[in-house]
Amino acid sequence: MTELKKYQSAVWSEPIVLTMGSPGRRGQRFALDRPVDHTLGELLPAHLRREKSVKLPELSEFEVLRHYEHLSQQTLGMMGVSLFGTCTMKYNPRVNERLVNKPEVAEVHPLQDPSTFQGTLEIVDSFDHMLREVSGMDRFVFQAGGGADAAYLHMTLTRAYFADRGELGTRNEIITTIQSHPCNPATAAAAGFSVITLPLEEDGYPSTEALRAALSDRTAALVMNNPDDIGIYNPRVKEWVDAAHDAGALCFYDHANFNGVMTRIRARELGFDACMFMLHKTFGSPKSGSGGPAIGAYGCTDELAKYLPGPLLERTDSGALTLVEGSDKGVGRIREFMGNLPVVIRAYCWSRSMGIQGLREAANLSVLANNYMETRILSIPGVSKAFPDNKLFRLEMTRYSLEKLTADTGVTVLDIQNRMTDFGVDAPWLSHDPWFIPEPITPEAGELWSREDLDHWIDALAQSCEEAYAQPELVKSAPHNQAIHKLSDAQFSDPDTWATTWRSYTRKYQ
């Protein structure tokens, strides 16, 4: 173990910006050569006009800058080492941020005539073709605002497909597995399907017999993610897809964990009818939570393409690109317009800069980095790996368990997570619910981090575990070097205490 780098977050008593400043304080004052024309406001319909002026804080430019600098100094983010597992969080190259902030991208309005933003549409079309190449699918759309949204799109397409065949009344079940992301069963239920969840066997995936027993003429779709969020690849995937097709069901590939298999497998060749990729994770666009500015790129076969929601890109005889509505059979919009186009542009730039060889190299590196980490992590007392009887190499991530460490010391994985942040690493990802692996922790290296960074992360884990045995109270009372000590999650669970806006905060607390 190398000597751990020291870390201490800045701690500012930073007020909320809405309570700062003083009336009349300004960033810049501009001399106007003619007075502001207030009559322009009358162009707005009366019911949209503001009657009282909005209560904004009045601050100098420097105060604003200092405030946000202080806040940023209190967060770690990618300034530390962030091995946040599942779906591969990546560094977002600055050059791509520069590109999407150019007026040609940032100032395009989605209701503009397509002839006025042909360049952007060409990028969307090229990127669609790139994803076709890596998946084998016939067409991609970018409307879904994240992975869960793309899963929902698939569920609605499944409905449309079976409604069209007059089978919706009978095909009302979706089969998934206990380790699939919670959005898979949740979106299936939201679209009106009942969900069959298969349990895992010793290998870490359900048996083919369990799948066959669940399949019937009521099955609408099989939904799989492979490798899954534990890092295990189900080698029987083709057999599964064939069995589901034999039962007349569709097969959807939640490809969130694509990083370790990029350019090595193609969803179509495994038999899938549709798949999704996370542009905001695997493809180098910023990760954004809760369906924010993200994209779950959804691709499907020609057979399903007629159910896709518009607006869809179409090339006219003159070679120009235009936007057309989806077919009458199409599912309605699930998000606005064509989706978050700056995310597509970043993902396109990232993919072009990688090239197909780069994607292959990144996949290889991410598997190598994960297996390097695994060898070191498994030598830490108290740490084991999920499904140890499965001797196959994990791919781009491994789920570990601190069950023994907790039994020996009373220190939980949440305590270890807090303590690790004291060493300047981002709080590691544990597991989605339900936690069927006790005290889980799931780091994912991806291709970005150097060996020194990976070693630093492992050293932080090793140090925290060693402390759990030697000084459990030190770990239980962590973090000690962070701006905020501990958040109480009681507030997150009680709607009476939620205050997600300044207005609700003042209503509830002032």
Residues lying near ligand PLP in the complex (CB under 6 A): 86-87, 146-148, 181, 183, 225, 229, 254, 256-257, 278, 294, 296
Omega before 45 cis (within 30°)?
A: no
User: Between residues 195 and 474, which has the closer beta carbon with respect to ligand PLP?
Assistant: 195
CA distances from 211 to 162, 197, 292 (A): 21, 10, 35
The single residue listed with the structure tokens 């239980």 is 476
Closest to 56 measured CA to CA, from 78, 83, 25: 25
User: Between residues 296 and 428, which has the closer beta carbon with respect to ligand PLP?
Assistant: 296
User: What is the smallest separation between the CB atom of 4 and ligand PLP, expressed in angstroms?
Assistant: 29
Burial environment of residue 197 by CB neighbours within 10 A (0 to 12, 13 to 18, 19 or more): middle
User: Between residues 153 and 214, which has the closer beta carbon with respect to ligand PLP?
Assistant: 153
Q: How many CB atoms lie within 10 A of CB 317?
A: 5
Please spell the DSSP secondary structure of 296-314, one letter per residue: EEEEE-HHHHTT--S-EEE
User: What is the smallest separation between the CB atom of 39 and ligand PLP, expressed in angstroms?
Assistant: 45
> What distance in Å separates the CA atoms of residue 455 and residue 445, rounded to the nearest whole number?
11
Q: Which residue is nearest to ligand PLP (CB)?
A: 147
User: What is the smallest separation between the CB atom of 298 and ligand PLP, expressed in angstroms?
Assistant: 12
Closest to 367 measured CA to CA, from 398, 408, 401, 400: 398
User: What is the smallest separation between the CB atom of 95 and ligand PLP, expressed in angstroms?
Assistant: 24
User: What is the smallest separation between the CB atom of 502 and ligand PLP, expressed in angstroms?
Assistant: 27
User: Between residues 270 and 294, which has the closer beta carbon with respect to ligand PLP?
Assistant: 294
> What distance in Å separates the CA atoms of residue 446 and residue 362, rounded to the nearest whole number?
8
136-167 as b/e: b if 16+ CB within 10 A: bbebbbbbbbbbbbbbbbbbbbbbbbbeeeee
User: Between residues 270 and 321, which has the closer beta carbon with respect to ligand PLP?
Assistant: 270
User: Between residues 9 and 257, which has the closer beta carbon with respect to ligand PLP?
Assistant: 257
User: Between residues 340 and 482, which has the closer beta carbon with respect to ligand PLP?
Assistant: 340
Fill in the DSSP letter of residue 38: G
- 8 Å CB contact between 284 and 352: no
